[in-house]
Structure formats: structure tokens, C-alpha cells
Amino acid sequence: MPLQIASLLKREATRLGFDFCGISKARFLEEEASRLERWLAQGMHGHMAYMANHYDKRLDPRKLVPGARSVISLMMNYYPGKSQKDPDAPRISRYAYGKDYHGVIREKLRALLEYLRKHAGSVEGRVFVDSAPVLERAWAARSGLGWMGKNTNLINPKTGSYFFLAELIIDTELPADGPMRDYCGSCTACIDACPTQAIQPYEVDGSKCISYFTIELKDALPGDMRGRFDNWAFGCDICQEVCPWNRFSKPHANEGLEANEALLDMTKNEWHEMTEDVFEKVFRDSPLQRTGFHGLKRNLKFLSGDKEN
């Protein structure tokens, strides 16, 4: 019966638009515990104080969902298959080309949980979309959706790493899938390409990452990073762009994640001259709301060499 439920669950996940679905046993992440402790102790989380919160919950899903027995990991492709038209325009990470993904994926997760309850009886659990202390990549790797690459992105050998990750943590025990092997080999493309030298093998110093600076950091951008952002104004895709596995990336077909054509059409001048009214109109339901108009303008001034950021 559990095997049949798992099969039905994965079939429904595919119908809902998820590309991969895997299952892990809910337990303490012993290997990740020492890695996370060292990462935090070395200050690699920068000003992201929330990363140090709920340490125990990050490592044990049973503290997030009492009685948890299974972690269901899901991947949804966001690769747009389109690019910004002006090659000189400030660069925006591909995941932010469309609407905020949280609502789109959360709705599908809730539908999947209801489907599970319909076919497996009484199931208690919670849905997670990058909004709670869950080590998403660790669980995805444990469930065989890919391996954690040297840039710490979850890489699938069939379609690369342009994916959103999400989870269902439930109190029902389902048969667990096993992890896959690491296929990074001797490749160091992501490490060599990082302009801020934020990447070491299988570890990213968040306090040096361009995505951290342009999205998470609320203070002035550090002067010693001037000229090293490679024109990225929101996020950064460099370590994914150079990854050989992303030559297999295919444009997604997920309704609700379509690229914002107004964003793709914007010229360099339009970005730098953008007013707050235009920002709110074009990016009303966009991941760019994370940094906000003033944060984006700070990033744009930094790229243009303005020392007041």
C-alpha cells in the first residue's frame, strides 16, 4: 500500500507541473549539522541573521512537523528559455524573470497534500516553499533528485540546476528513495568563474556572494566589491551559466512562471532611469520586491560607479 501511494503521489506531482519528486525518511541530518555549524561559526551567512535561527529545526524535520515520518522533495523547472534583450542592461537572475514563485508553488503543494489525504486517509503535514528553516537541497539530494554540486546548487543530470525546490513533510511513512552519485568530477568551472571568489568546493561563502549583496544585504554595498558584480543588479546566475550540466536545461512550461516581457524589453537606460511608480507597476508581483525599489536603485548606482549607494 505505501508503495502504491508513493507511485500515485509522484504521478500527481508530475500532473501538477513538478518535474521531479522524491521521498526521504524524516530524521536528523547528522552530516549536515557539523557543516552548518562550521558555516555559521565562520560568518559565511553575513548579515542573514535568520540563518542562525531555529538551528535544531533546520536539522530535524520532526521539530517542524510533530510525528513527521517522510520528507517529500519536489523540483520545478524555472528556466525561461528567454533572455534580456539589451545585452548592456543590468542583469537579473533568471528565477526573477516572472512572478513571485512562492504563491504559484504553494498552491500546487497544497493540492498535492489534499490528493495525498484523499488516497492515503488521515495525513497530517505542512508544505514548505523556501519560507521556513528547511535544508531543501540536503533533502532533495537524499531523495535522489540530483546531487549537490560544487556551487552547492542541486544538479539533475537530465536538466541541470534551474529549479525551485519545495517540500511536503508528513506524518505518513512512505518508501524512501536513495541518493544519486556526484557527477561533478574534477570540474571547477563554477569556482573559477565566480567574480567574488565566493565558492570553494561544495561550499559558498554567502557573505561574498553577488546574490547576497544585491538581494539580502540592506546596508551600503562594500567598496572593495566595486567592479566585481559583472553587471548583476538582482541575484547572479554565473555559477549556473558555466555549469556544463546546464547545457541540458530546457524551457519550462509552468503556468504562472512565465517571463515578464516588460522586464526582458527594458534597456540599460530604462533600468537606470526607472522611477518608483514604474517599478511598482512593472514589478508588482515580482521577486524584485524582495529588495524593493530603493534597494534596486542602490544596486544600479553601484554598477554605474556611483559611490553613494
Mean pLDDT, residues 175-184 taken together: 96
Report the 10 Å Cβ neighbour count for 133: 17
Q: Choosing from 130, 171, 182, 230, which is the catalytic residue?
A: 130
Cα first-last separation, the chain: 59
Please write the tens of the pLDDT for every residue from 228-248: 999 999 999 999 999 999 999
Q: Establish how many alpha carbons lie within 13 A of residue 101's alpha carbon, considering only the half-sphere containing its beta carbon.
A: 24
User: Does the structure show a pLDDT above 90 at 307?
Assistant: no
Please write the tens of the pLDDT for every residue from 37-75: 888 788 887 777 666 666 788 889 999 999 999 999 999
User: Does the structure show a pLDDT above 60 at 119?
Assistant: yes
Q: What is the DSSP string of 39-87?
A: HHHTTTTTT-GGGGTTHHHHH-GGGTSTT--EEEEEEEE---S---S-T
User: Does the structure show a pLDDT above 60 at 309?
Assistant: no
User: Does the structure show a pLDDT above 60 at 4?
Assistant: yes
C-alpha to C-alpha distances, 76 to 20, 131, 169, 184, nearest whole angstrom: 7, 16, 17, 22
State yes or no: is 130 an active-site residue: yes
Report the 10 Å Cβ neighbour count for 4: 10
